[in-house]
Amino acid sequence: MSIKLLSLKPTQILSKGSILKILSISQTQNPFFAIVEEHQDKAYVLLYSRNGDPQGGKRIDLTKEQLKWIKKNTKKVFEYPK
């Protein structure tokens, strides 16, 4: 199991092909951080706005391509375990 805190830009979240778009984020919300908890082939993603309000989360199945997208398009702030 690993837990990552990722820094996001709204354009990354709302862009075409974004894995996080699966989470039904409306354009009125402005998530800034995501916490991704990975267990083998499953992940739980929590989104937070700039002021720290939770914006929702979902348990999703991640493919290798989706994991690649997350790593490429986000900035890791913290990871446990390292």
Report the number of distinct structural domains present in the chain: 1
How far is 43 from 16, CA to CA, in rounded Å? 21
Residue 21: which domain range?
2-80
Q: What is the pLDDT of residues 29-79, one digit of tens each?
A: 555 677 778 777 777 777 776 667 777 777 777 777 777 777 777 777 777
Contact between 58 and 44 (Cβ < 8 Å): yes
pLDDT at 27: 46
Contact between 12 and 74 (Cβ < 8 Å): yes
pLDDT at 50: 66
Whether this prediction's pTM lies above 0.85 is answered by no
